[in-house]
Structure 1
Amino acid sequence: MYKNFFKRIIDFVVSLIGLVLLSPIFLLIAITVKLDSKGPVFFRQKRVGIHKTYFNILKFRTMRTDTPDVPTHLLKDPDVFITRSGKILRKTSLDELPQIVNILIGQMSIIGPRPALWNQKDLIVERDKYSANDIYPGLTGLAQISGRDELSIKEKSKSDGEYVQLLSFSEDVKIFFGTIMSVLKSDGIKEGKSDD
């Protein structure tokens, strides 16, 4: 009942409230991004959604517009492409805030496996073993509070599978507050080595 009904209602209500309350921060970040470098405020990227369908994830742009469309860890020198404001946004995870819109319109959930890039075949295949591609991807998930960038693809997928098994309101609350603590401490962030 929670997975198929209440989870979506909570996602909708919380993301709507979040969008309203955070709108001043959105505006401030948007101005900063625009003044810092040429290009759009938002970055759209093809990601894998529920049942391996595709959608465009939204982020505040943290990299130059000529950055290749590959996971950051595959770039030879990621720091060359990351903007000044981008470094701060990535470190604080504020670049992820526009995904509230993805949640609001039903493409993502607040809690779930982080959506893989369309070309991360190894991660997608590994998640299939745990049915982790059969639920909505999330703004944050169990893997994000269990090591984030420090985890291998197999470890991330295993954590995603564990979440599929544990999926409940209490588990989502635990991950939500665990994420806040991880962000405040910048746990598990390794710039330039993330799949995200």
Structure 2
Amino acid sequence: MPKQAALKSLCLPLRRFCRGENSRAYEYLGVHRTVRDGKTCMVCRVWAPHAQGASVVGEFNEWNPESDPMRKIGGGVWECFLPFEMKQFDLYKFCIETAQGERVFKSDPYAFHYEDGEGKASKYYDISGYPWNDGAWLRRRAQRPHPSRPLNIYEVHAGSWRRYPDGNVFSYDKLAEELVPYVKDMGYTHIELMPITEYPYDGSWGYQV
């Protein structure tokens, strides 16, 4: 991480990220729609502090590492702007040139979607319009003296805890229908879900997240 003097020259989100204080780094890193010079475009950022170079590749440039190079902006972060709007679920990766000069293609660790199964590409997904419906629950939680109440936590991997007979995974609605009564019956007070963000290898249970 950069020294304190170097941090002062960085923008606030990046400065907080370098200090380990940015709990909303997903809003800064990754791929997002933005406006630049009055035009809508995409901003792409990835943290690769030891890379010699980086670029964005995808269906939009035929996976060509030369098409959309990135520049290092400080704090180990690389950035570029794409002069067009990506569509929901467009595939992309970052091409990283290592310190040894090798080019490797990497999924975006801040992506919100990935290819299913063995696919490793990230998918662009705009979450800005997602309708969160947990406002009432958050207000109730704020009023409860939960630190003084006993806890009994059940850790579960949503994708493998229980499945349909044909091997397909439950939807979140079906998981809630099956899991909540089970947890209550077993005497647990809380559920700790293993990573539920999408990740590129199902067998990992999300340990890369």
The answer to which structure has the higher helix fraction is 1
TM-score by length of 2: 0.26
Q: Which has the higher contact order (CA 8 A, sep 6+)?
A: 1
**What is the TM-score normalised by the length of structure 1?**
0.27
The structure with the largest alpha-carbon Rg is 2
